[in-house]
Amino acid sequence: MTEYEVIIGLETHIQLNTITKVFCSCKADSWIDLPNTNICPVCCGLPGVLPVLNKLVVEKATLLAEAMHAETRSLSFFDRKNYFYPDLPKGFQISQFDMSLAHGGYLDLPMPQGYTRHVTIHKLHIEEDAGKTVNQHGRRYIDFNRCGVPLVEMVTGPDLRSADEAAQYLIRLRQLLRWVGVSEADMEKGHLRCDANVSIRPVGATHLNPKTEIKNVNSIDAVRNAILKEFDRQVREVEAGRRIESWTLEWDEDRGVLRKMRSKETEADYRYFREPDLLPIRLTDEWKHDILRNLPELPLVRRERFVKQYGLPEYDADILTSERSLSDYFEAAVKNYGGDPKKISNWLMNDVLRMLNERGVSADQLKLTPRSLAEILKLIDAGTINNSTGKALLEKVETTGRSPAEIVASEGLAKVSDDSAIRKVCQEILAENPKEVESYKSGKVTLIGWFVGQVMKKMRGKADASLARTIFEELLQ
Ligand SMILES: [Zn+2]
């Protein structure tokens, strides 16, 4: 039997996080607003209006292009993409066709299996969004709020080879968009939308077969499921001797099925021509230089640096660079601490991440600053407090905003290392528990842990546990 491989390319629409729309001053994000409340004659395409380009859209798109290693053009043009659909009031969409802001570029995907997939970018351009059609109670409603919302459309080459790789592409792209600060990239809110082009071929073949386009795959799971379904369907068709036709399919998330929408349009169907109402974008070297001053170190570069510079395992480096503010937090804490970076990493991954998840905040919003975390670790290293007091301090600092040292002093949390004080408590415990002493002496030496636990309980966790253990061993001989 022939074995097939799947060939996938992804088209993504990224909503830029500007305050206003791309060609008018209406509010761009309408997620919580009533339909048709953020509209004006420009974005509704009334006759006689003129679009005015939002400069910030060009700047954010340029940042994104650079983050994708794409090449920007110093001169690019807007074009009209003509099609007729009820939610497109002008009858055309302002987009960029042959001379877009950027071209080329790539995104590398480190896969959990250990290899890296290199995904090329074929197209990167600015365009305006269309409205939204809602079918309800047998009627069709149209919301124009989304008309004129700034988008970047990005199209990959046919480089992805599995549903998992496609999912990973979206995960890494979402990370990058948030990292660079150009989009909220919330798929649920439509800030990041995805269509998947899928074809199959026998393993080992190098030609490309006709592909189908799956629309509306707007969550990571949907992308994975829809591609797997479509792969199976194409294999069945080919095995049955039928040809794959270039259909456009729609993914029905609720039912988990693909439906044929239409035979796919070609670019000729759109009759592109230059937008006569807008000047070309002139991205001078000076302007570009200015924009790129805001480009941070990229996540994968930082991930690699964390491994090299701090000797972190790749696993740690990956988690710590999942989000920019978390990685900044890590570096600031390491700097304040001065000790082993792996220790900071452990505390972040075990305790601080849990705090972030529970509170639904990002690392830069914590009252537990990198300096406070470092201070707690230093208090432990110096023997002033024990580990469990340190862990308890995390919450205390976060809720009160006070410094760890202050809390230790005012609540008397410092570890008791005074031999005579601990010895006294140990003796009390032995006197109170003759049965346990008996069984210890008859060979159940593991009870030592229980004895130490009793000391910690009596001394409210402040005793030096290893000292207590030594004293018990001595007393029980
Ligand atoms: Zn408007």
Between CA 88 and CA 84 the distance in angstroms is 7
Looking from the CA of 69 toward its CB, the CA atoms found within 13 Å total: 13
Where is pLDDT greater, at 383 or 296?
A: 296
Measured in Å, residue 394 CA sits from the centre of ligand 1 at 48
55 C-alpha to ligand 1 centroid (Å)? 16
pLDDT at 230 over 70: yes
Report the alpha-carbon distance of residue 345 to residue 348 in Å, rounded.
5
**How many angstroms separate the alpha carbon of residue 22 from the centre of ligand 1?**
9
Q: Ligand 1 centre and the CA of 464: distance in Å?
A: 67
Q: How far is the CA of 184 from the centre of ligand 1 (A)?
A: 21
* 312 and 306 Cβ atoms separated by less than 8 Å: yes
pLDDT at 264: 63
User: What is the chain's mean pLDDT, rounded?
Assistant: 93
| For residue 385, pLDDT beyond 90 | no
Q: Mean of the pLDDT values across residues 401-406? A: 91
For every residue of 225-249, DSSP letters joined together read: HHHHHHHHHHHHHHHTTPPP--EEE
- 168's CB contacts (< 8 A; 6+ apart) are 109, 111, 117
For residue 153, give the H/E element and its range. Answer: strand 150-156
Ligand 1 centroid distance, CA of 296 (Å): 32
- The pLDDT-based confidence of 287 (bands split at 50, 70, 90) is very high
Q: How many angstroms is it from 467 CA to the middle of ligand 1?
A: 72
What's the CA-to-centroid distance between 144 and ligand 1, angstroms? 9
Helices and strands in the chain: count of H runs, count of E runs: 16, 17
Domain 419-475 has CATH 1.10.10.410: yes
| Residue 35: pLDDT over 90 | yes
Does the CA dihedral 119-267-195-91 come out positive or negative? positive
- Centroid of ligand 1 to alpha carbon of 25 (angstroms): 6
Instruction: Please state, in angstroms and rounded to a whole number, the distance separating the CA atoms of residues 246 and 449.
Output: 70
Element (H, E) at 248: strand 247-252
Residue 265 above 70 pLDDT?
no
pLDDT tens profile 430-477: 999 999 999 898 888 888 889 999 988 888 887 888 888 888 888 888
* Cα–Cα distance for residue pair 23/57, rounded to 1 Å: 10
First to last CA, the chain: 75
Distance 150 CA to ligand 1 centre (A): 12
Question: From ligand 1's centre to the CA of 43, what distance in Å?
Answer: 4
Distance 283 CA to ligand 1 centre (A): 25
What is the residue extent of each domain of the chain?
Answer: 4-290, 299-411, 419-475
pLDDT band at 422; cut points 50, 70, 90: confident
pLDDT band at 14 (very low <50, low <70, confident <90, very high): very high
Per-residue pLDDT, averaged over 177-195, amounts to: 95
Calculate the CA 453 to chain-centre distance: 42
Taking only the tens place, the pLDDT of each residue in 187-222 is 999 999 999 999 999 999 998 999 999 998 889 999
| Distance of CA 91 from the midpoint of ligand 1 (Å) | 16
Cα of 56 from ligand 1 centre, angstroms: 16
Is 336 within 8 Å of 301 (Cβ atoms)?
Answer: no
Give the mean model confidence (pLDDT) for residues 114-138.
94
Whether residue 185 contacts residue 14, with contact meaning beta carbons closer than 8 Å, is answered with: yes
Q: From the CA of 138, how far away is ligand 1's center (Å)?
A: 29
How far is residue 78's CA from residue 95's CA, in Å, rounded to a whole number?
6
Q: At what angle do helices 419-432 and 465-475 cross, to 10 degrees?
A: 60
